[in-house]
A and B are shown apart, each in its own frame.
Chain A
Amino acid sequence: MKPQYQHELMTSFMLWFDHELLQKGEAYSNQTGLLYCGDDSRLPSSYKAYASPYKQWVNDSSISGDTNPVIPTSLNGYDRTDNIIFDFENGRIIETGGAFGTDEVLSGTFAVKDFNIYLTNETEEDLILENKLQSNSRYSMNPSGVKPYDQMTPAIFLNCEFMRNEGFSFGGEDKTNNSIKAVILAENEYQLDGALSIFADSARKSFAKIPFSSHPSTEYGDVKNGSYNYVELRNLYLQSNPYFIDDVVVSKFSQKTQSSVPGDIKVGFIDFEVSTLRYPRS
């Protein structure tokens, strides 16, 4: 099936959301550490994965702040020309053929997001109550590589739960309304309030519709062509029928409810009303 409206909406929204959080909140920290060789059955057998203790790494070079994020392009002198893939999603590198052996001690500096961002179809109750999410081992005394593909907190989960078309103008133009819900699982109140505040201020903004073909990531979590700059990508598409954020409501658990949440995560919610004008029947 080729990508449909909702696919493009959610990927465009996720790119915007990630950029907004990183840029407005400087929600990242530069970390230096070792990378650990680990198994990954999803990779071809000749590939070797070396994971850091953290995921996700910042890959957007348009982000700047008091301290700019370090977006690695090489580790221990090895770069993409040495058959290295940077898997920003999983906080690791993948060596695809004979650059070095498994006994190589790899270390590097990389910017780690304060919040991992995920698209999900899971219900809020499953996300919050199953208590199956691991925490980024930021303060661990015995660091090790994080397992690939596991979702880790602090995290924000994005889900589009509702969509409705309503007539807008003659000729078949509709206004398509979507409700996008974000569940925030933060490690403390400060972090939670920061994320809620950033997105409460995003009402009546717009964001670019970025086609699937222009998505910056490869299937291995690296960036296409070795770099990704959200602002440059957005500027290519901002003029062509953007999405509008009509309304944003942020909320968090009442004190009483928060005390019932398993673990030590702080839970918040952001409800976005997003719309765009389109011709769904053409």
Chain B
Amino acid sequence: MALDRQIIASLKRQTPKIVRSEVQKLGRAAFQKIKNKMIADFLNHPVTIEIKQGINSQNISETLGGATNLYSFIGFNSSSEDPTKDIENILQQTNFEFAKIMNNSIEFSIYIPNAKDVFDATPMPWAPGRSWAKGIETGISGLGYYLRVERDNSRSGLGIQSPRQVRKKGAKFKNTQYISALLNKYKKEFENLQL
């Protein structure tokens, strides 16, 4: 028995309201899964781990040939907070917003920070106009490190070789993919989000 045309129209009108909360829940869960994965990827990146470990870290990112570590090389102040925290906070701002269900489609929008947002929030300690996060990708100068002529005067406090020794060893920074690659990867994943 065929349904009355009016009943079909009524069902069509009511369906979005009924399924909205369920779809929203599914969408948010799928989004959150990817967001968590993105933040985990960031936190497990060798550069992030190395900087988080601070002045005594090994050069696990292999960006400096083991001569020193990134925290010292970039020239962070030992008393400053974890420099990667600012990036994590920006990534946490990734947001899901449900819009509407129309006909056979579901509309939602996702806000993802871009690399420039991150670069703006990660100033080099010795030259605030420059970004250390961008420097990881495109090349970073060791000036912040080398300018500590006296070990005891080091702002990071301890555990570093003399600048001359490190330069003799030929410590040259090796670029590596970091924020831009991470955001590009997850931008694609968010675009392909499926419920």
Contact = CB atoms under 8 A, between A and B. Distances in A.
A233 interface: no
Given A162-B138, A257-B144, A260-B149, A249 B129 contact: yes
A254 B138 CA distance: 22
Interface in B159-173: 163, 167, 172
Given A249-B129, A252-B127, A162 B139 contact: yes
A214 to B, nearest CB: 30
B127 A251 contact: yes
B109 interface: no
Residue from the set A125, A181, A253 with the largest chain B CB neighbour count within 10 Å: A125
Nearest to B116: A247
Interface residues of A, number: 21
A254 B127 contact: yes
Contact of B130 (A123, A129, A261, A271): A271
Nearest to B175: A162
Contacts of B163: 129
A115 B157 CA distance: 37
Interface in B61-76: 75
B148 interface: yes
A250 B129 contact: yes
A269 B130 contact: yes
B147 A260 contact: yes
A66 interface: no
Nearest to B171: A125
Contact of A254 (B126, B142, B175): B126
A257 B126 contact: yes
Contacts of B149: 260
B143 interface: yes
Given A162-B175, A260-B148, A128 B129 contact: no
A47 to B, nearest CB: 39
A253 B127 contact: yes
Contacts of A124: 141, 143
A254 to B, nearest CB: 6
A250 B146 CA distance: 21
Interface in B1-29: none
Contact of A129 (B129, B147, B172, B175): B147
Given A123-B172, A125-B146, A254-B125, 8 more contacts: A123-B142, A125-B141, A129-B146, A179-B139, A181-B139, A253-B126, A254-B126, A269-B127
12 contacts: A125-B141, A128-B143, A129-B147, A162-B139, A162-B175, A181-B139, A249-B130, A254-B125, A254-B126, A256-B126, A257-B75, A260-B147
